[in-house]
Structure 1
Amino acid sequence: MSADAQTPAEPRPQAEAVVLVGGQGVRLRPLTLSAPKPMLPTAGVPFLAHLLSRIRAIGIEHVVLGTSYKAEVFEQHFGDGSDLGLHIEYVVESEPLDTAGAIRNVSDKLSAEDVLVFNGDILSGVNLTDLLDTHRSTAADVTLHLVKVDDPRRFGCVPTDAEGRVTDFLEKTDTPPVDQINAGCYVFRRAVIEDIPAGRPVSVERETFPGLLAAGARVQGHVDSSYWLDMGTPAAFVRGSADLVLGNAPSDALPGSTGRALVLTGARVAEDAVVDSGSTVGARCQVGSGAQVSGSVLFDGAVVEDGAVVERSVVGTGARVGAGAVLRDAVVGDGATVGAGCELLEGLRVWPGVELPPGGVRFTAD
């Protein structure tokens, strides 16, 4: 090779993905005392596995996880990502940096021009290919997935003009001017990420996006009415898991077929028990004679004894629900026991290891 010959540069990937999974999941306690929110068993696998399957399905192979709380759990489970056909890297936040700060914190791992960024607790049916196409066809600096919701009063809203350009970021109000909200999924030009201040907390909605608008950058909205759910509360977690099992929400990671229920290997369900409405019965679980499990999630090793009723609830790893007990909209932590005949209603949460005695006592969150 002559002295002036040059080795061809490696082609840059067309797009990469960043998933922000650093939150503590306070609203989901006690479930998140033992695992980060994106690692909770959801329709048979960690919730994050569903998102990673959708990222891989559109041809993206490089994913960076921005971690913090129980950061080691992610790498212990997913490793380098090769089992999923991915190359996964991990960046740990030493202190909370907010959304934009967390994105900036992983920038050294990125090389593609376009970077898909996901909040790691959102279950969404948005077509990711269409989202990327919107970003590229409009030559946007940042593109936001905006979803239409029935009640935008619970969220800040994001108005757009006739060309789909974002015009403002509005706080929660009783009279929102539009029904579209920030859905927690973005496409950034990598240069925009590199311009985010490093080493301090930065909010995308209060600082980064308004700053881009003020500077005349193109902030594009990709608006749709696809399935969308913030999985941040126990009720939403149960609903999202059920929707994955029922096939209402998309995933390539479901460990079985969609249908009325998902019963994992090693679980034992009595012939006369009823398990339906998208319930998941984890490995080594036991569901007794005459029991009813509806729209619920039983983590591995949970036991539901004869005649018990579990509706829209979560029963943690190794927890036990006694004979004839009733759970409706409840959470039972890992290793806890609900005594025979007890009733847990209206969002009650039982902490790990707690034993509620039998005897027909009614418990409510109030």
Structure 2
Amino acid sequence: MKALVLAGGSGTRLRPITHTSAKQLVPVANKPVLFYGLEAIAAAGIREVGMIVGDTHEEIEGAVGDGSAFGLEVTYLRQDAPLGLAHAVLIAREYLGDDDFVMYLGDNFIVGGIEPLVRRFHDERPAAQIMLTRVADPRQFGVAELDTSGQVVGLEEKPAAPKSDFALVGVYMFTPAVHEGVAALKPSWRGELEITDAIQWLIDEGHRVSSTIISGYWKDTGNVTDMLEVNRLLLEDLDQRLDGAVDDASEIIGRVVVEDGADIARSRIVGPVIIGRGAVVRDSYVGPFTSVAEDCQVVDSEIEYSILLRRASIHGVRRIEASLIGRDVEVTPAPNTPRAHRLVLGDHSKVQISS
């Protein structure tokens, strides 16, 4: 069995972060989201991975390399434009050959991995196996319609009037039968080749499509709210580890990781929190569910329930909450006079100001 990992796409919901970084490499608990998926694939016993990449291919390839760090063999497959999930299967046709495969969206996060799902697929071997979860607003997802016995009878992509609240999770398993369905597709109203249409083709042609309603935690980390929530969930499992420098004037409470090379002075850290290599925290408060990446600075400031990316610095600011702060960002207080806000913002930025 092979894996097809989708690591293209423009990440519009995470702008402006994704103007300069691949959305799959935005970290939660100081590790890129994509890495959790690759680790889950390796833990399921899969070794060969085809990775669909687009405009951010250099950054993805630089981070993942040949896959050996994950126990994988990665082959990169270029997609010139994000033309749909089924289009990714189409361009991977030669690589996939006649092997079964799992398709994994690189910005999705599933607690507990996929090993039980892969094992079930091996045992039952339907033409397709999909994962479903209940969502509050199914109009934002691919949606499955089930009959009274729980059998999948229909699928729609982002329907205006959903027939159920069961959304497709970003992990799919297929036999080679799906390739005939993909080859028969026409672009949808969105101009894309939809994987839901390919699965519907399998159903219409009499192939068996099975589903699993996952009871664990799943998130599509395509927006800031979901990124922060996944970060919170991962930090819950931290064990305290203080490899960096923590002076006697600092207070460490709860599950806190201070990586080697980090420096904590005259500060209060209330876990769960992770502070990366080379980070400096001085005269500050870092509250629960915060990830501070390597080489960041938090000085004379307060921050909680947030993610700081590499080399971000916060000096003299009270108080920051529920924020995603990008690489090399500088956050400082505005001058008291004149009473005005001075902003330098990129395209598609979002700013909330308390006046």
Range class of TM-score, shorter chain? 0.7 to 0.9
Q: Output aligned runs, 1:284-363, within 5 Å.
A: 284-306=278-300, 308-340=301-333, 351=345, 363=352
Residues 161 and 182 of structure 1: CA distance in aligned 2, closer, same or farther (over 3 Å): same
Hey, what's the Cα distance between the residues in 2 that align with 1:154 and 1:97?
A: 17
| CA positional deviation for 1:130 | 2.7
Partner residue, 1:203: 194
Partner residue, 2:248: none
Query: Which of 183, 191, 205 pairs up with 2:177?
Result: 191
Residues 246 and 66 of structure 1: CA distance in aligned 2, closer, same or farther (over 3 Å): same
Contact 2:270-2:286 within 8 A present in 1 as well:
yes
1:292-321 deviations in whole A, cap 9, x for unaligned?
A: 233223232221112x12122233322221
Partner residue, 2:24: 38
| CA positional deviation for 1:152 | 4.7
| CA positional deviation for 1:173 | 7.3
Residues 21 and 285 of structure 1: CA distance in aligned 2, closer, same or farther (over 3 Å): same
Percent identical: 27
**TM-score, normalising length: structure 1:** 0.78
Partner residue, 2:246: none
1:125-168 deviations in whole A, cap 9, x for unaligned?
A: 25523323443444411110112346656545313235543111
Contact 1:43-1:262 within 8 A present in 2 as well:
no
Q: Which secondary structure does the structure 2 equivalent of 1:158 belong to?
A: strand
Contact 2:30-2:292 within 8 A present in 1 as well:
no
- What is the letter of the counterpart of residue 364 of structure 1? I
Over the aligned positions, Cα root-mean-square deviation in angstroms equals 3.1
Contact 1:275-1:294 within 8 A present in 2 as well:
yes
Contact 1:322-1:341 within 8 A present in 2 as well:
no
Task: State the number of aligned residues.
Answer: 325
Partner residue, 1:108: 94
| CA positional deviation for 1:260 | 2.8
Q: Which secondary structure does the structure 1 equivalent of 2:80 belong to?
A: coil
| CA positional deviation for 1:365 | 9.0
| CA positional deviation for 1:223 | 1.5
Partner residue, 2:230: 240
Partner residue, 2:247: none
| CA positional deviation for 1:112 | 5.6
Query: Which of 256, 262, 266 pairs up with 1:267?
Result: 262
Contact 1:40-1:47 within 8 A present in 2 as well:
yes
Partner residue, 1:20: 6
Of 64-73 and 267-276, the range deviating more from structure 2:
267-276
Gaps (5+ residues) in structure 2? 244-253, 336-342
Partner residue, 2:48: 62
Q: Which secondary structure does the structure 2 equivalent of 1:144 belong to?
A: strand
| CA positional deviation for 1:271 | 5.0
Query: Which of 82, 86, 104 pairs up with 1:96?
Result: 82
Partner residue, 2:353: 364
Hey, what's the Cα distance between the residues in 2 that align with 1:80 and 1:144?
A: 28
- What is the letter of the counterpart of residue 241 of structure 1? N
1:221-241 deviations in whole A, cap 9, x for unaligned?
A: 111211111111112112212
Residues 111 and 179 of structure 1: CA distance in aligned 2, closer, same or farther (over 3 Å): same
1:14-73 deviations in whole A, cap 9, x for unaligned?
A: x11111010111211222233211112222222211111111112111111111031011
Contact 1:317-1:333 within 8 A present in 2 as well:
yes
- What is the letter of the counterpart of residue 329 of structure 1? A
| CA positional deviation for 1:179 | 3.9
1:178-210 deviations in whole A, cap 9, x for unaligned?
A: 4421011100112313542399741112x2122
Residues 59 and 112 of structure 1: CA distance in aligned 2, closer, same or farther (over 3 Å): farther
Contact 2:276-2:295 within 8 A present in 1 as well:
yes
Q: Which secondary structure does the structure 1 equivalent of 2:3 belong to?
A: strand
Residues 186 and 134 of structure 1: CA distance in aligned 2, closer, same or farther (over 3 Å): same
Hey, what's the Cα distance between the residues in 1 that align with 2:98 and 2:260?
A: 40
Hey, what's the Cα distance between the residues in 2 that align with 1:24 and 1:90?
A: 17
Residues 173 and 100 of structure 1: CA distance in aligned 2, closer, same or farther (over 3 Å): closer
Hey, what's the Cα distance between the residues in 2 that align with 1:173 and 1:204?
A: 14
Hey, what's the Cα distance between the residues in 1 that align with 2:91 and 2:219?
A: 26
- What is the letter of the counterpart of residue 280 of structure 2? Q
Of 135-144 and 230-239, the range deviating more from structure 2:
135-144
